A and B are shown apart, each in its own frame.
Chain A
Amino acid sequence: MDKVYPDVDSVIADIPDGASIAIAGFFTAGTPIPLIQGLARQGAKDLTLICMQMGPGNEDIAQLFMNGQVKKAICNYPFYRSASRGANSPVEKAVRNGEVEMEVYPMGTFTEKLRAAGAGIAAFYTPTGVGTVVEGGKEKRKFGNREYLLETALKPDYSFVYAQKGDRMGNLTCHKTARNYNPEMAAAGKITIAAVENLVEIGEIDGDTVHIPGIYVQRVVKVDRPNYFPTID
């Protein structure tokens, strides 16, 4: 079994217009930046992006908005904290101008929607968001003496994930806080593309240290470690 592609451009070449793509990473940690940059070159349009952040700590995603490639954003922390900095961000501008549709979920709900999709669960009840705008028109139900909201699974066409180490079968090992959304997004994606810092041969990863089993990963590409620290203020 060999899931390795020669480079970033070939591993994302077939992504069509209108695709939904989950992008892992918590601000800078564990974000597959070379795949996002590749997507900007590849040019697919009308994309639905599923990613925690949509600009702060991730200027490369902002570039997809500037390119007009994004139709919809499903996220958790889309804006800069500073209103003045936000007003100049392409993401906030696109939302204010009505050019991009946006859905925001609480962080735990966001990740659980992806986990559910990867685990064959259609929907789940969570106490988070009851009594807030997150309720929207969602079903509310009481279990015991507590109210819960029904949230549905979110299954992306593609998932972009990042790992410190990966083998040719797609077994992945993450590093410290760079694990974050990677395991659940890997499982959720119909086609999961892993950008790995270190590509190793089968057998070189101790099975006890695998965070993402290769069954969830369809494609692997070796990338250089992106290295920068943006701010989120």
Chain B
Amino acid sequence: MVDTVKKFKGLSRELIALRIANELEDGSYVNLGIGIPTLVSDWIEGRDIVLQAELGMLNTGPLASREDVEQDLINASCQPVTELPGSSYFSENESFAMIRGGYMDVAVLGALQVSEKGDLAGWSNPERGLPEEIGNIGGSMDLAVGARKVIIAMMHTTNDGDYKIRKECTYPLTAQGVVDLIVTDLAVIEVTKKGLLLREVAPGVSAEDVQSVTEPELIVSRDLQEIQL
């Protein structure tokens, strides 16, 4: 446990999502997980990015306003959405064939913990006290192993100030060695073969600050920058 609760004021959840939206390349196919990842959709309207909803839709549009709500048109978070020109529908099975088949350029997922080797733990919090092999796996394990690039969107520490970026994950894994980039309220960190590379820090936050709330040793990029939004 580290004693750093609310010591550093970083980006809001919305701005974490904006930083990730800026990371996405035009022309890419992207799946957004539940939580902060879903907020990325607010920042890509009008861009040439196709979102997949894993229940069986490509080119998912913005959330539906009250009068447009259709029971048969929802995203994977059970929110009513809209369609866009070029939207398509297919079965859940085809959706996951697409995901495992390597067609998703990017999956943006939430996480409870990420290790310095890029292991991801995101589907089960043991503190809930359920049997260890059951929980809400959802599409996370398939997305983590299937997407070409996995970006994690999360707060840097737990509400109690405990490390979420760790030497080893202590929570049940979603997948091993899959994470490429971690974007938090405090930093942008790339998972490399040599270790975690600190590329960007939030305004007013130093590399030392980020290190103090990160368990493994960070490699500080030679051109460390402030996060640009």
Contacts and interface: CB of A to CB of B under 8 A. Distances in A.
Given A28-B78, A79-B130, A95-B130, A130 B93 contact: no
A77 B138 CA distance: 6
Contacts of A92: 130
B96 A108 contact: yes
Interface in B40-86: 53-57, 69-78, 80, 83
B91 A182 contact: yes
Interface in B90-119: 90-93, 96-97, 99-100
Contacts, number: 159
B174 interface: yes
B225 interface: no
A106 B139 contact: yes
B216 interface: no
B72 A176 contact: yes
B220 interface: no
Contacts of A180: 55-56, 91-92
- The CB with the most chain A CB atoms within 10 A, among B93, B97, B130, is that of B93
A159 interface: no
B139 A133 contact: no
A227 interface: yes
A10 interface: no
B206 interface: no
Given A115-B93, A184-B93, A109 B142 contact: yes
Interface residues of B, number: 49
Given A132-B173, A136-B133, A177 B73 contact: yes
Interface string A213-229: 00000000000010111
Contacts of B99: 108
B227 interface: no
B100 A127 contact: yes
Interface in A167-204: 175-184
A76 B54 CA distance: 13
Interface string A5-43: 000000000000000000000111110000000000000
Given A130-B176, A175-B72, A78 B57 contact: no
**A-B pairs, 8 with minimum CB distance:** A108-B96, A108-B142, A106-B141, A131-B176, A178-B72, A26-B55, A27-B78, A107-B139
Given A30-B72, A107-B142, 9 more contacts: A27-B78, A77-B137, A77-B138, A96-B130, A111-B93, A127-B145, A133-B133, A176-B83, A232-B78
